[in-house]
Amino acid sequence: MAKRKTPLSFPEFGRHLKYFRELRGYTQEELAEMVGMSPNYYGSIERGKQMPTVRYLYRLSCALCVSMECLLAPNPPQDETGIRDVLIHMIRKQPEAQCFILYELNAHIVPLILAEWSARRF
């Protein structure tokens, strides 16, 4: 029998959301405005007091350039792979002529972002 995945608690989802918001460099207010929700509602979601509706979950995933599945995953990528995936998704939206340059930059930027975050967390 397949093992059933444990659903995320509200606080776990809020931590995931905060991680991806910070990864993209948005404030709570900016992201709330982007998806059309009040800053208070967004803040309560990130603090783990409530979950977004499916409609807002979809809007958040689009604004953060991550799938809904990734937002709801028990362990979202919080390493180089996760950062690289977000950047690659953003690059793919650019005109083809710019993609090569952006992919090259991606290879150099991700390690710098990780070093910066490591320095801030300790």
51 domain residue, yes or no: yes
Host domain of residue 20: 10-72
Residue 4 has a pLDDT of 42
15 and 35 part of one domain: yes
Shared-domain flag, residues 29 and 68: yes
Q: Which amino acid is at 83?
A: I
21: which residues sit within 8 A by CB, 6+ positions away? 28, 31, 46, 64
Q: pTM for this one?
A: 0.61
Domains: count for the chain? 2
Do residues 58 and 96 share a domain? no
Which amino acid, residue 64?
A: L
Q: Directed axis angle between helix 10-24 and helix 28-35, to 10°?
A: 100
Q: What is the pLDDT of residues 42-84, one digit of tens each?
A: 999 999 999 999 999 999 988 887 778 778 877 665 555 566 6
